[in-house]
Amino acid sequence: MLRTSEILDRLVANETAETMSLAEIVGRLRARSFGVLLILFAAPNMIPTPPGFSTIGGVLVMLVAIQLVALRRAMWMPETIAKRRVQTSTLARIIGFIVPKLRRIERFAKPRAIGMTRLRARQPLGLLVLLLGLVMALPLPVVGNIPPAIAITLIGFGLIERDGVWVGAGIGVGILDIGVIIGLAFGLLYVFERFVPAGWLGLF
């Protein structure tokens, strides 16, 4: 079985075309497209990115998540998205950023707790990834886009390697991130109710 880093390397190896469509990328990935696309769309957001970059990544992650929930065996994209072309050099740079980090952790991955990577586990997993994709797409202060990107990347990595432990790690990071966001929301609501005079509410 090819490791995740090898799959990504082969995606652009010996590619001579200047651009690749998303449909071509999905076609090359075949059955393992879900996990690889989660990594490609989320991992670049594990570092600070230009405004709007995480929004695009988050929307694409949600597209993958919806199909996990639908229990699709092969990735489908609307024609308008499937025809979108990506610069091969840009894709190569993204893969060049991701692969060295994956190689460091691949030695700790192996098929185990496979039930968490099977088809029947994909619906609840897809719902979580859908929510994390939404969080990643939003310009949230304090928490930012990095924690959901880490969670999604770990889940994608676990799916490819058929390693439920890594999927579980991604679930843990994702739930923690969502918990922090909910806690901050309730905290802000408490501060608003505690310190904003009731008479001011009529101004809004």
**Residue 199, number of CB atoms within 10 A of its CB:** 7
Q: How many other CB atoms are found less than 10 A from the CB of residue 20?
A: 20
Both tokens of 136, joined, read: 């990643």
Residue 15 confidence class, pLDDT cut points 50, 70, 90: confident
Q: What is the pLDDT of residues 141-198, one digit of tens each?
A: 767 788 999 999 999 999 999 999 999 999 999 999 999 888 888 888 888 777 766 5
Q: 87, 67, 86, 61: which is closest to 145 by C-alpha?
A: 61
Q: Can you give the pLDDT at residue 157?
A: 95
Write the secondary structure of the chain as one string of H (helix), E (strand) and C (coil): CCCHHHHHHHHHCCCCCCEEEHHHHHHHHHHHHHHHHHHHHHHHHHCCCCCCHHHHHHHHHHHHHHHHHCCCCCCCCCHHHHCCEEEHHHHHHHHHHHHHHHHHHHCCCCCECHHHHCHHHHHHHHHHHHHHHHHHHCCCCCCCCHHHHHHHHHHHHHHHHCEHHHHHHHHHHHHHHHHHHHHHHHHHHHHHHHHCCHHHHHHC
Backbone angles phi, psi at 3, to 5 degrees: -80, 165
Residue 27 pLDDT: 86
In terms of pLDDT, which residue wins out, 139 or 4? Answer: 4
159 near 167, Cβ under 8 Å? Answer: yes
Q: How far is CA 104 from the centre of its chain?
A: 19
Q: Which of 15-19, 32-36, 158-162 has the highest mean pLDDT?
A: 158-162
pTM, to two decimals = 0.88
Positive or negative, the Cα torsion across 61, 66, 72, 77?
A: negative
